Structure 1
């Protein structure tokens, strides 16, 4: 009685989908309109909500919004989560340098953040520069007022806040432009806080996408 030739190869097994554990990211930002509205729009994006499995929490602080105050609040929150074994994977602070007069305590804020493992996304001169990069490349120095005028000319929003759909579609482009600005400053030997224009927001966007 003949026997059929046995087929060799990998056994057929049903692939079991493995769901990655959610990563919890807490973001402390200034209480102005643009920053929290942009972050809320980012939080709703499928790449953030579903694919990357990120629990993005946004802490607004309208009163104490100076960088050093924000970092101190972030450190306290991280310490509390560590003591309570809370599932917080990353804590971020989003703030500006400000020109023509820089925020006070910038260097101290960065040193404190580094010491306690707080990530920072700093825009120079201000967050509006990050918004501008969604529409166009910009490599010339500018102050706060110029950055805000440029932003208004790009999105036509005036002071109405951030239209999430408009910005989310271009965040990858903005990320590439911000990364190019960072490389430009490094090649030219320009260091913080003189790296105007620049925005570390692309690091945060990359971390949660």
Structure 2
């Protein structure tokens, strides 16, 4: 006999929904990883899990590693965060991602520091990597090799707006104009639960 005052265990349980598991691979070994951890702490996604993995190689090597990890660790999707930089094989990797149902690449042009800058300033016009890195330091967003501990992570909605204004067609698996970043696509995954059919 069930004790009074306690709900029937069978009827009160809701079916567990599967959380989508994303593996996010970063080309940068420090700054990108620190940023993504801060972003996850700020957003606290309930509908999905995000694991961040630093690789720091050319895009083709990141793509191959991504496929191995997805297979080994049973992730649902892989996301590659990469800069334009001087990568000769960037377009090749983007083609691979376009053909893959499980991997997407998010490109920042010219570099991830531009995305960081958009948290603090409305940077428009053509940008060089060196200039973005310098401005990120001047605006106290980064130190020598890492993210400032007081980075304004709460300003990510402003960064999203600036990125959308710079590249209205922003999407994964594409290299946008300079300046641009597809990072808002990842933030959309972190903030919006998938629609039920």
**Normalised-by-shorter TM-score class:** 0.7 to 0.9
Deviation at 1:126, TM superposition (A): 0.5
**Larger deviation, residues 34-43 vs 70-79:** 70-79
1:124–1:198 contact (8 Å) kept in structure 2: yes
Query: SS state of the match for residue 26, structure 2?
Result: strand
Write the mapping of 1:37-76 to structure 2, written as runs, cut at 5 A. 37-45=34-42, 47-49=43-45, 52-62=46-56, 65-76=57-68
Match of 1:140 among 116, 125, 128: 125
In the other structure, the counterpart of 1:34 is 31
Match of 2:112 among 102, 117, 127: 127
**Larger deviation, residues 107-116 vs 155-164:** 155-164
Indicate whether 1:205 and 2:190 are aligned.
Answer: no
In the other structure, the counterpart of 1:153 is 138
**Larger deviation, residues 70-79 vs 109-118:** 70-79
1:105-159, Cα deviation, whole Å (9 max, x unpaired): 0110001111113111110000000000001112211111011011112225432
CA RMSD of aligned residues (A): 2.6
Indicate whether 1:106 and 2:81 are aligned.
Answer: no
Q: Give 4+ residue runs of structure 1 displaced > 4 Å after superposition.
A: 15-20
Deviation at 1:199, TM superposition (A): 0.6
In the other structure, the counterpart of 1:8 is none
Query: SS state of the match for residue 95, structure 1?
Result: strand
1:37–1:164 contact (8 Å) kept in structure 2: no
1:54-91, Cα deviation, whole Å (9 max, x unpaired): 211011114xx11111111112223445xxxx3x2321
Number of matched pairs: 178
Structure 1 residue runs of 5 or longer lacking an equivalent are 1-14, 187-191
* Closer/same/farther in 2, CA of residues 36 and 77 from structure 1, 3 Å limit: same
Please give the TM-score of this superposition, normalised by the length of structure 1. 0.75
Please give the TM-score of this superposition, normalised by the length of structure 2. 0.79
Q: Could you tell me how far apart the structure 1 residues matched to 2:186 and 2:90 are?
A: 19
Q: Whose radius of gyration is greater, 1 or 2?
A: 1
Q: Could you tell me how far apart the structure 2 residues matched to 1:74 and 1:156 are?
A: 29
1:96–1:125 contact (8 Å) kept in structure 2: yes
Write the mapping of 1:145-184 to structure 2, written as runs, cut at 5 A. 145-155=130-140, 157-159=142-144, 161-163=146-148, 166-183=151-168
2:170–2:182 contact (8 Å) kept in structure 1: no
1:185–1:195 contact (8 Å) kept in structure 2: no
* Closer/same/farther in 2, CA of residues 207 and 156 from structure 1, 3 Å limit: closer
**Larger deviation, residues 115-124 vs 15-24:** 15-24
* Closer/same/farther in 2, CA of residues 57 and 196 from structure 1, 3 Å limit: same
Deviation at 1:20, TM superposition (A): 4.3
